[in-house]
Amino acid sequence: MTDTIKSLAALLAEGKTSSVELCRDYLARIERLNPALNAFVTVDAEKTLREAAAADARRAAGQAGVLTGVPIAHKDIFCAEGWLTTCGSKMLSNFVSPYDAHVIEQFKAAGMPCLGKTNMDEFAMGSSNETSYYGPVRNPWDTDRVPGGSSGGSAAAVAGRLAPAATGTDTGGSIRQPAALTGITGLKPTYGVVSRYGMIAFASSLDQGGPMATTAEDCALLLNVMAGFDPRDSTSLERGKEDYTRDLERPLAGLKIGLPREFFGAGLTGDTARAVEEAINQLKKLGAQTVEVGLPNSKLSVAAYYVLAPAEASSNLSRFDGVRYGYRTPEYKDLNEMYEKTRAEGFGSEVKRRIMIGAYVLSHGYYDAYYLQAQKLRRLIAQDFVEAFKQCDVILGPTAPTTAFKLGEKTADPVEMYLSDIYTIAVNLAGLPGMSLPCGFDAQGLPIGLQLIGDYFAEARMLNVAHQYQLASDWHTRAPTL
Amino acid sequence: MQWETVIGLEVHSQLSTKTKIFSGASTAFGAEPNSQACQVDLALPGVLPVLNKGAVERAIKFGLAIGAKLNRTNIFDRKNYFYPDLPKGYQISQFTLPIVEAGELTVQVEGDKPGDKAVEKTVRITRAHLEEDAGKSLHEDFHGMTGIDLNRAGTPLLEIVSEPDMRSAREAVAYAKALHTLVTWIGICDGNMQEGSFRVDANVSVRPLGQAEYGTRREIKNLNSFKFLEQAINYEVRWQIEQIEDGHRVEQATVLFDPDTGETRMMRSKEDAHDYRYFPDPDLLPVKLEEDWIEQVRATLPELPQQKQARYQADLGLSAYDASALTASRAMADYFEAVVAGLVKQDAKLAANWIMGDLSATLNREGVDIAASRIPAGQLAALLARIQDATLSGKLAKQVFEALWAGEGEVDAIIEARGLKQVSDSGALSAIIDEVLAANAKSVEEFRSGKEKAFNALVGQVMKASKGKANPAQVNELLKKKLGAG
């Protein structure tokens, strides 16, 4: 039985349970299962229950909102006042945030207690959750396998029902790919819809926070809380509040689904290809039509991404210097040694690799050949989508080329790991909304993800397609046995 | 060999916004260390910059004042380097596309000797860009450790970069002073050099006179007074010439000026130069300057020093020198104009003489700025009116001026109280003159025998007898009449 946040909200509204009771149940499940999954970096039952009690009091006072009292877990990339906020790094292993991210403020205002901070790839750099200073997260469907990354802790927590929902962030696929690998639903909004204030930056022009839950409908409810203009983020878009649930019940008759030929070529394993094909058939039965579209430049997206994201990261991570907060090496002779040892000891190897790549592509003499060239590619990739959306309402394809792989399977070959995001990265480069939802299982019983890509600000339409599909399928209700 | 000096200046002018360029923290000077550094200034994980429109407005104002091109789209870049007082590990600045480009400033350069005619010089301004200041590293008082004060981190700066158009320390100082006047004049900077609100870097090189290529330059960093600017350039020029004449080469470097020794010393060589890895800051959108915004800012622009100078010469008949001196600061010009406006009978030259003479001398002596003058413009105008209507002689007026400064009340009250009214009543004067002539028969005799000097002695006696209150012109006239010489 899957408890959606919608169903939990109904129970709370009917007075059949309390937030404290719900939180106790989830905390107990976390206590029991987290040692095996390692989905959480920080759990603080006392704090959670205090927030839950406050939510119950608010409900008693007749001031409850739709989701008041429903608990949620937050990716450890979001600064939360009084919570250890590590970003999966030794560098911030002692950092207790003195302030709340905009996203955290929004969930607090909605009265949703925090169940804890979830594990993640270090500074969101990774596709398997193996780069975390706090150890790898394990996939609830097979604990020898990875949950994907970088929002692997959030994905595993929701998939294992340790939390009914969680926040994630997506720079190149970090919400969608782990959602796919753990059989849950996750959404990356249009760039600028969710404020980045208080979300520790990896690649500023690509990072976007979003919801992870078991259903599209839950994602819509959560996005209603998360989204909104924030004057503290200059890239936050000044748009009116919208209700992302408004189109959920819209019939799919007349829907035009674009199928990029580049997503259905070689490299897609049999089971994934088959599951995606079946999902297309299901949507057709619901009245949708398909049209083939081309995204000719998307094959360059991984290359462009691994220039731009490291470039921004190399600069974003400069503030972690041991001077004001975070880890500082215990012994040093002078300033330079303090910097060198602090950063050598505080960062893991994948983070260092990307800082090196980023510093290199921004260097004098290389900037034009790498950074500027990648920016041009980025515009071409975005232009492909603009053309494609002239022919269709949403674009559909696989989320990831494979299902969950084994721990250690790809760590030796960074490029192999980077290709895990081959279908998701173009969406970030274009700034478009995208989501992943479960569409079946492979022969080994591992979940397969279906990716939907919407036009700018077409989250509601995308959620509509996903919700209608979920009304006609039950993949999203399946939970691993733990 | 004859050498030519080539100088370009980079001026960091702190903009007078209440809050920082990318955060809401106060920019006030002198607060407790780190009490004016908010989470954005501290570069906590996750924080983001938001551009202060007031800083952009001030840059627009400057661009308009120097007739520059305003880039309708300009962008912020990150300049990456590590330093403990640079919290983010990068400075947000403008590199490829600054807000202001290609302006110029025409300045008056004084001649070699006092009294030489000032020469006009136009200095081209390459660019002016917005950026944030860093914090301060404090190396003393921490027992071998370094203290960091981030109050200044994020303070808005306009970096104004000139072309290498100056050919002497004197020209550089004249340009720097004119720039200082301009930024304070248009109200974008408080100009306080002690507090670091206006800091100058000088790029200095020398070349054989007539050579087209520039010599290798060295940059003197962070000069915070015009005197140091002049000393540092002069020292640097001598040093560079000496190096070359001794057969050495000047290597590109950044140097510091030590006011105690009057010398420059090496800070870092070209080899140590950073690769700043500039790239557009993805946290900030390109700045768009809409035409109405520019026009709104233009409407707030006061009449500029050069416009005033031209008007003073054309409409008020002042000399270029007077016009330039009276526009040394906005407060000076405001004062001058208020005095002129207070005169019923217009005499700008009289006002100029008094302001540049007695008033300036007194202000200098007392170390008071003209804006805080103890004699308000209205009172100086009242004083000058009493000279114009012959109530006061120049000499008496000086006494009244002193009394005004001492706070003895208003002009007419002082004249009354001190009995300083000039005697212009011809009856009273005539009586005094008669007495003097009677008592100085010898002088009268001498005058009549052709000794012109004796006339002056008689004038002196009359003035003395009137206790200085006699109108000198009238005394002359009456005396001549009585002596039958007129």
**What CATH number did the domain enclosing A101 receive?**
3.90.1300.10
Nearest beta carbon to residue A101 from set B46, B84, B275: B46
Residue A255 scores a pLDDT above 80: yes
Task: Please report, for residues A19, A33, A124, A224, B111, the alpha-carbon distance to residue A72 in angstroms, rounded to integers and kept in the order given.
Answer: 11, 17, 20, 14, 76
Q: Cβ B84–A323 below 8 Å, yes or no?
A: yes
Residues B281 and B333 in one domain: no
Residue B425 scores a pLDDT above 70: no
Task: Please report, for residues A58, A66, A68, A80, A161, the alpha-carbon distance to residue A51 in angstroms, rounded to integers and kept in the order given.
Answer: 10, 16, 10, 13, 20
Query: How many pairs of residues across A and B have Cβ atoms under 8 Å apart?
Result: 97
Question: Would you tell me how many other CB atoms lie within 10 Å of the CB of residue B20?
Answer: 26
Tell me what pLDDT residue B437 has: 83
What is the spatial distance between Cα A460 and Cα A446, in angstroms, rounded to a whole number? 28
Host domain of residue B328: 303-418
- With bands split at pLDDT 50, 70 and 90, how would you rate the model's confidence at B382? confident
B134 touches chain A (CB under 8 A): no
B67 touches chain A (CB under 8 A): no
Average pLDDT over residues A187-191: 98
| pLDDT 10s digits, B38-67 | 999 999 999 999 999 999 999 999 999 999
Nearest beta carbon to residue A364 from set B51, B148, B275: B275
Residue A341 scores a pLDDT above 80: yes
Average pLDDT over residues A16-37: 97
Residues B184 and B108 in one domain: yes
Catalytic residue chosen out of the listed positions A75, A90, A117, A188: A75
What is the spatial distance between Cα B15 and Cα B129, in angstroms, rounded to a whole number? 12
What is the spatial distance between Cα B238 and Cα A77, in angstroms, rounded to a whole number? 57
Host domain of residue A188: 5-251+472-477
DSSP states along B331-366 = HHHHHHHHHHHH-SS--HHHHHHHIIIIIHHHHHHH
Beta strands in B247-337 (DSSP E): 253-258, 263-269, 279-280, 287-288
Question: Would you tell me how many other CB atoms lie within 10 Å of the CB of residue A62?
Answer: 6
Beta bridge pairs of residue B5: B206
Q: Which residues of B touch A101 (CB under 8 A)?
A: 46
Two tokens at B343?
A: 């005169």
Q: Decide: A172 and A421 in contact? Cβ < 8 Å.
A: yes
Residue B213 scores a pLDDT above 80: yes
Does A72 reside within a domain?
yes
- With bands split at pLDDT 50, 70 and 90, how would you rate the model's confidence at B435? confident
Tell me what pLDDT residue A72 has: 98
Q: Which residues of B touch A203 (CB under 8 A)?
A: 282
Residues B261 and B388 in one domain: no
Q: Which residues of B touch A234 (CB under 8 A)?
A: 48-51, 283-285
- With bands split at pLDDT 50, 70 and 90, how would you rate the model's confidence at B144? confident
Nearest beta carbon to residue A196 from set B48, B89, B285: B48
Task: Please report, for residues A76, A79, A167, A313, the alpha-carbon distance to residue A200 in angstroms, rounded to integers and kept in the order given.
Answer: 9, 7, 13, 11
Q: CATH code at B435?
A: 1.10.10.410
Residues B22 and B140 in one domain: yes
Nearest beta carbon to residue B50 from set A234, A317, A319: A234
How distant is the Cα of B89 from the closest Cα of chain A, in angstroms?
5
A357 touches chain B (CB under 8 A): no
What is the spatial distance between Cα B10 and Cα B229, in angstroms, rounded to a whole number? 12
Does A186 reside within a domain?
yes
Average pLDDT over residues A146-157: 97
The alpha carbon torsion through A288, A292, A297, A302 (nearest 10 deg) reads 50
Does A88 reside within a domain?
yes
Average pLDDT over residues B245-259: 90
Q: Which residues of B touch A98 (CB under 8 A)?
A: 39, 44
Residues B126 and B273 in one domain: yes
Q: Decide: A168 and A155 in contact? Cβ < 8 Å.
A: yes
Residues B456 and B364 in one domain: no
What is the spatial distance between Cα A359 and Cα B416, in angstroms, rounded to a whole number? 80
Q: Cβ B87–A323 below 8 Å, yes or no?
A: yes
Q: Decide: B7 and B166 in contact? Cβ < 8 Å.
A: yes
B273 touches chain A (CB under 8 A): no
A174 is catalytic: yes
Does A303 reside within a domain?
no
Tell me what pLDDT residue B467 has: 74
Q: Cβ B285–A235 below 8 Å, yes or no?
A: yes
Instruction: With CA atoms as reference, report the closest residue to A385 among A258, A273, A198.
Output: A258
Total number of domains in chain A = 1
Share of chain B above pLDDT 70, in %: 97
Q: Cβ B46–A79 below 8 Å, yes or no?
A: yes
Total number of domains in chain B = 3
Residues B239 and B340 in one domain: no
Does A135 reside within a domain?
yes
Q: Scan for tokens 């209150």, then name that residue.
A: B469
Does A381 reside within a domain?
no
Peptide bond into A7 cis (omega under 30): no
Looking at chain A from residue 51 to 80, which residues have their Cβ under 8 Å from any Cβ of chain B? Answer: 78-79
Share of chain A above pLDDT 70, in %: 99
Q: Cβ B39–A99 below 8 Å, yes or no?
A: yes
Q: Is residue B122 within a helix (H) or strand (E), and if so which, with residue range?
A: strand B119-132
Average pLDDT over residues A252-279: 89
Q: Which residue of A has its CA nearest to B24?
A: A232
Nearest beta carbon to residue B277 from set A199, A325, A363: A363
Q: Which residue of B has its CA nearest to A361?
A: B277
Q: Cβ A315–B82 below 8 Å, yes or no?
A: no
- Among B272, B294, B316, give the residue marking a domain's end: B294
Of the ranges A7-21, A169-183, B331-345, which one carries the lowest mean pLDDT score?
B331-345
A195 is catalytic: no
How distant is the Cα of A296 from the closest Cα of chain B, in angstroms?
26
Does A354 reside within a domain?
no
- With bands split at pLDDT 50, 70 and 90, how would you rate the model's confidence at B486? very low
- Among B392, B418, B444, give the residue marking a domain's end: B418
Beta bridge pairs of residue B106: B122
B34 touches chain A (CB under 8 A): no
Residues B359 and B288 in one domain: no
Q: Which residues of B touch A320 (CB under 8 A)?
A: 45
Higher-pLDDT residue of B177, B141? B177
Residues B43 and B170 in one domain: yes
Nearest beta carbon to residue B42 from set A320, A321, A324: A324
Q: Which residues of A touch B49 (CB under 8 A)?
A: 234
Residues B61 and B124 in one domain: yes
Top mean-pLDDT range of A187-191, B114-118, B388-392: A187-191
Higher-pLDDT residue of B213, B429? B213
Residue A376: exposure state from Cβ atoms within 10 A (0-12, 13-18, ≥19): exposed
B45 touches chain A (CB under 8 A): yes
- With bands split at pLDDT 50, 70 and 90, how would you rate the model's confidence at B114? low
Residues B336 and B436 in one domain: no
- Among B418, B442, B458, give the residue marking a domain's end: B418
Residues B198 and B318 in one domain: no
Top residue of A100, A200, A324, A333 to mutate, by most chain B CBs within 10 Å, is A324
Top residue of A362, A376, A429 to mutate, by most chain B CBs within 10 Å, is A362
Q: Cβ A234–B80 below 8 Å, yes or no?
A: no
Does A380 reside within a domain?
no
Tell me what pLDDT residue B389 has: 78
Q: Cβ A98–B51 below 8 Å, yes or no?
A: no
